[in-house]
Structure 1
């Protein structure tokens, strides 16, 4: 699958609505106030490397002095970035190495530029993609990231993990999304097909719980949609839950969700907190892809975005997300 650059939808779309209104079939993501929350301190050394070609061997990383020359070299290179293409390459390098650096985000002056940087960064990071990850389908998440509406990025194959039990957190982590993961069974939408909750249900062949990790590759917090979109839409990784169980897709909004960290209950929510119904996330994505001349393909994965505020996770913790009869997913962070 080739990456299709998709960012925030056009604000002029006729079916946009305010946060307090009930979602309608095919509706766009509700708007929320822009108020970015404080983010974790990015300084430090990654626990593990994502790509050996960019960073010394694991035995060297355990010694802080061994990696400092590398980090200094990366920071020196990124300070010389003076074009959108170089910004994209720097974002891809940082994601591969699991680090954050100072980058000239002022180069991002338009939605088109942000999408172009995301597309180029994805092409530099991976050559195979599994589907799409949405971020900001919950109002609290949008406020935390300074978003007016949801954003989306293709899911690189190397950032999609099937039932993975452990995961090394990179620098720049923001939090974890408690989300659902759909598998699309056919090309959607078909020519002339109405995009709404019902047609989205018809296009889906599987659904399972997932954990979506959200973070950044820049030292500056994603205080606006352009920065967040360009930086892989803040996507870090998608951790897929176990094999899906049979369920009526139209009843997904009735699923309760509980999240536990190290066995302690930290969050309760409902799948209906994803735009009123998780299927609305699929319809929203399909509309945005059509706007950009594309669509969903058979086999694509769609991570819906969180049904709750972002959960901050740190190395040494285990997060378990349970969607009742649909199943649960858990992961220990290193």
Structure 2
């Protein structure tokens, strides 16, 4: 068997294992036990296999998420760049729409700024002007992340293979033009039952959420799947993640964007 055939078998086996973990809500051992911890190409191939599997079942891709935008988290995982995952319509929830905890394994929430595009992003290298011109509006958002890897014991290839630890996302309902926002300076709080659990600012996301969006736009063009009009882009966390341990409502408030609520039910 050739090296390519062996690699392909590994990709398909790991992809199937991650699908089963998500469906059964039982975690698996880190995938880095079976691929090199530095082999991002294989990890993204695993992710792509599961994206293709979902698409083949009729699920609709609605955008992308950017992960590992915190320099501290990058240092922790030994990488010097973010990662990305794919968003499906089945993952999207509205503000305060109930989300069943029973469908998740070990969820956490993080506050983000979402961009919704009105033009394609197809250049080899995108500038802030390109991104601003292509963005219809921004929304406050909460991403629900959930690792299929046991006890969140993840390195870079683990989270990449696992669709960047994606699970669900909640978009706010107050669209705001970028010219009316201070993307780097906006303050964020994430609270539950009135208790603030996480704080941050736009600058926590690679200095400015548009830095993360530019990285993603360039990367997707390199892969031959550029961002398109209508896509949702979750630009990355503005503060520390918070574990979801019980039913209840998490509320994110972001200066200039208002609030958005993620409500978990039994």
CA contact (8 A) 1:102 1:220 kept: no
Aligned to 1:285: 216
Rounded Cα–Cα distance in structure 2 between residues aligned with 1:172 and 1:295: 31
Aligned twin of 1:160: 92
Q: What is the aligned partner in structure 2 of residue 31 from structure 1?
A: none
Aligned-pair CA distance for 1:146:
5.9
**Residue among 121, 124, 136 paired with 2:53:** 124
Q: How does 1:95-134 map to 2 (within 5 A)?
A: 95-102=22-29, 105-109=32-36, 110-126=39-55, 127-134=59-66
1:264 maps onto 2:264 in alignment: no
C-alpha separation in 2, matches of 1:96 and 1:252: 37
Q: Which has the higher contact order (CA 8 A, sep 6+)?
A: 2
Worse-superposed segment, 311-320 or 240-249: 240-249
TM-score, normalised by the number of residues in structure 1: 0.68
Q: Given the alignment, which residue of 163, 174, 186 partners 2:119?
A: 186
Name stretches of at least 5 consecutive residues in structure 1 with no aligned partner: 1-81
TM-score by length of 2: 0.85
Aligned-partner SS, 2:225: coil
Deviation, 1:222, is: 4.2
Partner Cα distance (1:188, 1:280) in 2: 14
2:175·2:257 contact (CA, 8 Å) conserved in 1? yes
Matched, 1:149 2:81: yes
User: What is the SS of the residue equivalent to 1:308?
Assistant: coil
Which of the two has greater strand per residue? Answer: 2
The corresponding residue for 1:84 is: 11
Distance in 2, matches of 1:177 and 1:144, equals 18
CA contact (8 A) 1:129 1:156 kept: yes
RMSD of Structure 2 on Structure 1 (CA):
2.3
Quick check: 1:204 aligned with 2:135?
yes
Partner of 1:171: 105
Structure 2 segments unaligned to the other structure (5+ residues): 1-8
SS of 1:329's equivalent in the other structure is strand
Secondary structure in 2 matching 1:248: helix
